[in-house]
Amino acid sequence: MSNKVRVAILGATGAVGGELIQLLASRNFPLADLKLLASPRSAGSTLSFGGEKLTVAAVTENSLANIDLVLASAGGSISKAWAKNIVAAGAVLIDNSSAFRLDDTVPLIVPEINPEAIMGHQGIIANPNCTTILMAMALWPLHQVQPIKRLVVATYQSASGAGARAMEEVKTQAMAILQGKTPQAEILPYPLAFNLFPHNSPLTELGYCEEEMKMINETRKIFNAPDLRISATCVRVPVLRAHSEAINIEFEQPFPVAKAREILAATPGVKLVEDWQKNYFPMPLDATGVDEVLVGRIRQDLSHPCGLEMWICGDQIRKGAALNAVQIAELLLAKN
């Protein structure tokens, strides 16, 4: 790649696609050209970039010509359908779907954690799942000091994880309930406003849903710790944007709470948010639109001498998706 890059955003009209557009502008990414691609039904619409209007085109072999880098946020089936074309054309695909994350030939990257893995790419680089990224950001600095033995995590996932249409559906449902009407669910399987339910991804034969298995398998790959013991319970909650997670961490030896706070307070990409007198800790409203993962309520696990508890919040659309993808692109350029 040259110093300036010809970029295409595949899935430009979605929530993550919109954030990718904003981040490329705000971070002054060295663009030679920017193409916005989506499904045929979105072709012809316009989106703003840097004060100008760009027209969205339907993804085709022609629209992928003369591109150096594709940032994809259009879903696994779309990524699989176009990946070979993208790589054959000499471009690099940074994919936000789950299509390639567990492929041994595809690096799964969080730039603050495993940047060295990017050098093994063969034209495709995977962006991890949102909940995995947020958790990994909070845990990796501690894992570097003392290896983690076991994790138990419960997630509280906002509507944004299901896309822009799910966010709008929650608003509509809330209005319906407040007006005494029956809320309707079309994007998510059940009404989410004033409600919550276990994550709606398909259940596996193990009894865990696919979202929970993503957290388990992806964390092991990113940390290069295939035997790391992890259990996850993922839940949809009536929050528009930003995910939260309650994490229980077991180490081989006791890990002082004060030391954990000191480490996390000094970690790039992480912000310590704790006011114990006011009982004020990370909240989705505070994490919305913020690049850092907010970490707080770090405390000793009273049931285990080698355990810590923590609470985190992070913007699923930013660091959980679009920002991490752009950081991967920046890392790729830095590595040339």
pLDDT digits (tens, 9 = 90+) for 268-279: 999 999 999 999
The CB density around residue 27, as the number of other CB atoms within 10 Å, is 13
Please give the CATH topology (third level) of the domain spanning 132-316: Dihydrodipicolinate Reductase; domain 2 (3.30.360)
Phi and psi at 213, nearest 5°, equal -70, -30
Query: In sequence order, what are the residues at sequence separation of 6 or more whose Cβ sits closer than 8 angstroms to the Cβ of residue 276?
Result: none
Catalytic positions, written as ranges: 130, 243
Output 75 or 326, whichever has higher pLDDT: 326
Q: What is the pLDDT of residue 125?
A: 98
Q: Is the dihedral of CA 308, 310, 316, 320 positive or negative?
A: negative
Q: Give first-to-last CA distance, the chain, whole Å.
A: 7
Residues of the chain with pLDDT > 90: what percent?
A: 92
> What residues form the annotated binding site for NADP(+)?
13-16, 41-42, 160-161, 316
**Residue 190 pLDDT > 80:** yes
Indicate the pLDDT class of residue 2, thresholds 50, 70 and 90: low
Tokens 């699989």 label which residue? Answer: 80
- Give me the chain's average pLDDT, please: 96
Q: What is the pLDDT of residue 335?
A: 86
- Indicate the annotated binding residues: 13-16, 41-42, 101, 157, 160-161, 210, 236, 316
pTM of the model: 0.95
In sequence order, the 6+-apart residues with CB closer than 8 A to the CB of 164 are: 14, 15, 18
pLDDT in the model for residue 120: 85
Q: What is the pLDDT of residues 219-264, one digit of tens each?
A: 999 999 999 999 999 999 999 999 999 999 999 999 999 999 999 9
* pLDDT exceeds cutoff 70 at 212: yes
CA distance 212 to 54: 37
Q: Does domain 5-128+321-335 have CATH number 3.10.310.30?
A: no
pLDDT at 1 over 50: no
Query: Which pLDDT belongs to residue 51?
Result: 84
Question: Whose CA is closest to 100, among 218, 201, 251, 6?
Answer: 218
Instruction: Tell me the domain boundaries of the chain.
Output: 5-128+321-335, 132-316
Model pLDDT, residue 50: 83
> pLDDT, tens digit, for every residue of 39-64?
888 899 999 998 889 999 999 988 88
Q: pLDDT tens-digit profile of 279-319?
A: 999 999 999 999 999 999 999 999 999 999 999 999 999 99
Residue 17 reports pLDDT greater than 70: yes
Find residue 155's DSSP bridge partners: 234, 245
Range 74-102 burial, b when 16+ CB lie within 10 A, else e: bbeebbeebbebbeeeebbbbbbbbbbbe
Cβ(137)–Cβ(110) under 8 Å? yes
